[in-house]
Structure 1
Amino acid sequence: MEKREKIALTGASGYIGNNLLQKLTGYSDVIALSRNGDERENSDHVEWRSCDLYSLSSAEKGLEGADYAVYLVHSMMPSAKLTQAKFEDMDLILADNFARAAKKNGVKQIIYMSGIIPDDTDELSRHLKSRLEVEKVLGAYGTPVTTIRAGLIVGPKGSSFPILTKLVKRLPAMFLPKWTRTKTHPIALKDVIQSLKNSIGNKRLSGKSIDVGGPEVMTYKEMMQQTAEVMGRSTRTFDVPFMTVTLSRLWVSLITQSPKSMAYPLIESLKHPMIAKNMDDEVSYGQTPFKEAAREALDQEKKENEKKKTSKSSSGVSDVRSVQRILLPEGKDAGWAGNYYMKWLSGLAKPLLKVESDEEKVTRFSIWGCKTPIMELTCASARSTTTRAVYDITGGTFVKKTEEGRGRIEFRQIPGSQECIIAIHEYEPSLPWLLYRLTQANVHIFVMYLFKKHLLSLMKREFQQTGPVRTIANI
């Protein structure tokens, strides 16, 4: 018998991942990756693994033994009790860890679920820019990437379609702004699943980006009207020319009760026509009409709501994730950024703050007149490279003592650029939570702002001294 290939599936407990999982087990073994994978039982041809993609070591363990990997991750929802980060910066960290882990484990191909990218890429929304950036990062370490790009996916969960159904359900009449007349290419969830399945191990699609879409090109207004028909509702619509995308974000978020972190980026993207153009005969053409897909999605949602059980949150952790993006001087890397930041900080806060480093690469931050440090960082040399410098948070009075102690700060260079991500992960402060939010959390954001401005000033001086070596734009 032929050996069954192993496919690592991220987001295996999500609405796309769970449906794809059922399709894959017929011919392959699946490594189902989830943040809480250890809580699930393995079954025939399915091995569940807990995997935190914010951790490179966890990503490497998650992909051990995989022949192919499917990437269905998006970080539009907060990942900690306090998240001080833009979703695009968190997406970049997740994709970078996944790509590095895929390279280390010899994965043959990454299949990435993305969104349709309009022809005019100069005015892309933050959401679509992030999708494009993730695609580039996934392929930055040499593993071939096949990208499946879809517009609105018609399914019971997810983001866009549930927002649309809530608008139809909750409003007897809708005043529709200009973006609702934008054309898009909806596709049924089951057709997306088939496209992903047909892409895995398909060498012909290696390194390519393929658009997928259903049999109809429609406006959002037409989708709302047809969804209302499926739901048996009589919803009147009125076209208005004056409601801007900014106002629409607030309107949609209030009516649907969707988190701003999810609704805002999606609404910003609706100004772009999302019509599949770069098509492939084998994977691109969904066969399910919109009305049929909407009916199936609503029926499935009803069944899931009937089965749903109330569950208590298992997380009592007061952790922090804070991510900022900076621009490095020409020729500098993440390793330089980590060392330079420590030295810069010691000069910034004198004489209030004292910063000392020893031969063991342990840096201690102390308040003037106090012997006990408020923060202790230990350079994780074994896990650091020139493009990624990691410092474990190993002590200090501002750090809550825990058995795991996984708090860390990392400096990560974005592949092929001089941009660098500075991220704090899983930090648990010892201060009472409200006091921390009002003081230390805000101080950190201010310090990061000052560091970014300092680097820009440094580059400006170098630019004046050496001449126009390069153009600094969008800083």
Structure 2
Amino acid sequence: MPDPSQKRPVIALTGATGYIGRNVMESLIDDYDIIALSRNGDAKDNEEHVEWRSCDFFSFQDALKGLRGADYAVYLIHSMLPSAKLTQGTFEDMDVILAQHFARAAAENGIKQIVYLSGIIPPHEHRDELSRHLQSRLEVETILGSHGVPVTTLRAGLIVGPDGSSFPILAKLVRRLPAMILPSWTRTKTHTIALPDVIHAFQQVVGREDVYSRAIDIGGPDVMSYQELLQRTADIMGKKRRFIPFPFPTVKLSRLWVTLVTQEPKEMSYPLIESLAHPMVAEARQTVPGISDGKITYEEAAAAALDEEQKKQEEKKREQEEEGSKTPSPVRKLKQAVKSDVRSVQRITLPEGQDAIWAGDEYLHWLSRLASPLLHIKTTRTGVQQVYVLWWKKPLLELTFDVGMSQSDHAIYRITGGRLLHAKRAHNGRLTFLQIPNSRECIVAIHDYMPSLPWVMYKYTQAKIHLWVMKAFGKYLRRWKHRSTTDTKAAPRQAMSQHDSTVR
């Protein structure tokens, strides 16, 4: 706990409008000043000890500004749901971008500690055997700690609360299905923990140096199978449900029918259901007294969550009756919120000894060779890369290398013009190459791109061609052997050197 006689420490809280974030903020506000970070933070009014900031962590510039002035940072970001009108790529690759920007910005802002909420990792299963969701959580944990800021990871099983993801899905299944066929994965054990116990763990670890650079398992008093969870939930709801055991796992089939029954977005439900095949029980060697040992039973937590959910539904119903209109569903809200923009993210493997600056430069020259003579790329005197079709005088696209924001592991090309860009709309389109720390893997991404083509035409032509091109570039790099580079190919690195000399 902070010393009340000293200046209040400042915590940058991501996901401040989310399920966990709202509750974490309420629990910390008595002792800390909060920088509440959200994509739409500017639309909210500042309060006593709370400063709202808009921040999109797909942008490193936003990340730098968002964390400025903070002493500690809480990382509650994930990218399972689409963040653009067209999202191409896996949530794992998008999570890499978010975590890398956050970690680098935290280091440059002098953050003392990052607190990260993850899932319990089964100790006896190889990393490659884990679900995509758990693999991604581990990768994010590694990236967050890769820039020197100590990370405290809280690893939880099933968090029981009125919102969120896992428990509401469980409750919807019990509420809507009179009978359920239970595959073998429902016999897997999980450690439940009540939301207030999770919040207590956050309170205990912020600023506590003996848990820096440590992963801590947290759980409540109950460990049970998902079959037992369903039965206990039915008992709490006062509903009679029939459960029929089935000897096969059928995880892929399960994720389909769970999504259909609960009407949750498959981008959210699929990875979560895939993780249920793994036992998620706190390990004694990963626990810390006073942090790991939640006190609230599953029955108490579930009853409280269901009661709060009922109150919220009644309140929404009253609001709808007063307004005379329907409140949009979460899926409809998501569709209304996104712009007519594009985010396309792919992962490639770099040749030995090469970095992100090299990858961006090599990509542009490889693309010119691949599509020759149909396409060719010119470099202007100011270093702008212009992509031309053979018979057109105006370029298809113009890419401007961002010297100031690029580093050896992070190359940024601003999309600054061309026929394929909807230039009349405000945009921050960019092509980025982001090398994953301590690896040869690199994330290539287009962010906030606003195409000029009609949307349907773009989606089924240019967007498909981009995916094919990136796949071909990845194959090219796997076959690549060291070759001498020309002076032209060294332009981005030369520009960076000149920029560094100017700064010095």
TM, length-normalised to structure 1: 0.95
What is aligned with 1:36? 40
- Which letter does structure 2 place at the counterpart of 1:196? F
Give the letter for the 2:115 counterpart: I
CA distance in 1, matches of 2:478, 2:248: 39
Alignment equivalent of 1:287, drawn from 275, 287, 295: 295
| Aligned with 1:176 (options 176, 182, 196) | 182
Give the counterpart of 1:322 among 344, 347, 363.
Answer: 344
Q: Which residue of structure 2 lines up, in the alignment, with residue 449 of structure 1?
A: 471
Give the SS at the match of 1:32. strand
Deviations 1:11-35 (A, max 9, x none): 0100100011111111111111111
SS of corresponding position for 2:480: helix
Match of 1:109 in 2: 113
Q: 1:87 to 1:61 in 2, by over 3 A?
A: same
Distance 1:254 1:316 in 2: 24
Match of residue 411 from structure 1: 433
The match for 2:208 among 192, 202, 205 is 202
How far did residue 307 of structure 1 move? 3.3
Amino acid of the structure 2 residue aligned with 1:245: V
CA distance in 2, matches of 1:351, 1:428: 27
SS at structure 2 position matched to 1:30: strand
CA distance in 2, matches of 1:80, 1:107: 30
Q: Aligned partners of 1:245, 1:402: CA distance in 2, in Å?
A: 47
Worse overlay, 262-271 or 312-321 = 312-321
CA distance in structure 1 between the partners assigned to 2:182 and 2:62 by the alignment:
45
- Superposition pairs for residues 416-431 of structure 1, below 5 Å? 416-431=438-453
Aligned equivalents of 1:314, 1:129: Cα separation in 2: 31
Matched, 1:214 2:220: yes
Counterparts in 2 of 1:305-344, with a 5 A limit?
A: 305-308=313-316, 310=327, 315=337, 317-344=339-366
What residue in structure 2 maps to residue 393 of structure 1?
A: 415
In structure 1, the residue corresponding to 2:175 is in which secondary structure?
helix
Match of 2:305 among 297, 312, 321: 297
TM-score, length of structure 2 as denominator length: 0.90
Partner of 2:493: none
State the 1:365 CA deviation.
Answer: 1.0
1:121 maps to a residue whose letter is: H
Match in the other structure for 2:168 = 162
**Residues 207 and 446 of structure 1, relative CA distance in 2, 3 Å threshold:** same
Partner of residue 75, structure 1 = 79
Q: Is the 8 A contact 1:69 1:111 kept in 2?
A: yes
Q: How many residues align?
A: 462
- Do residues 23 (structure 1) and 20 (structure 2) align? no
When structure 1 is superposed on structure 2, of 90-99 and 237-246 the one drifting more is 237-246
Q: Is 1:433 aligned to 2:455, yes or no?
A: yes
Q: 2: CA distance between counterparts of 1:5 and 1:305?
A: 37
Distance 1:402 1:23 in 2: 45
Question: For residues 272-331 of structure 1, what are the alpha-carbon distances to aligned partners after superposition, in whole Å with 9 as ceiling and x for unaligned?
Answer: 100001111021011110011011111122222333463677646210000000000000
Matched, 1:140 2:164: no
In the TM superposition, residue 243 of structure 1 has moved relative to its aligned partner by: 4.6
1:345-356 to structure 2, matched below 5 A, reads 345-356=367-378
Partner Cα separation in structure 1 for residue 288 and residue 430 of structure 2: 44
Give the 5 Å matches for 1:256-271.
256-271=262-277
User: For residues 175 and 409 of structure 1, what CA distance do their matches in structure 2 show?
Assistant: 47
Cα distance per residue 1:414-461 (max 9 Å; x no partner): 000000000000001011111111100100000001000111111599
**Contact 1:394–1:405 under 8 Å retained in 2:** no
1:185 alignment partner, SS class = strand
- Identify the residue that residue 16 of structure 2 maps to in structure 1: 12
The answer for unaligned runs of 5 or more in structure 2 is: 320-326, 485-504
Question: Match of 1:21, SS?
Answer: helix
- Percent of aligned pairs sharing the same letter: 57
Counterpart check, 1:228 vs 2:234: yes
Bigger mean CA deviation after superposition, 311-320 or 120-129:
311-320
CA–CA separation in structure 2 for the residues paired with 1:424 and 1:251: 33
CA distance in structure 1 between the aligned counterparts of 2:315 and 2:453, rounded to whole angstroms: 41
Q: CA RMSD, aligned part only? A: 1.5
Asked whether the 8 Å contact 1:181–1:221 carries over to 2, the reply is yes
Structure 1 runs of 4+ aligned residues shifted over 6 Å read none
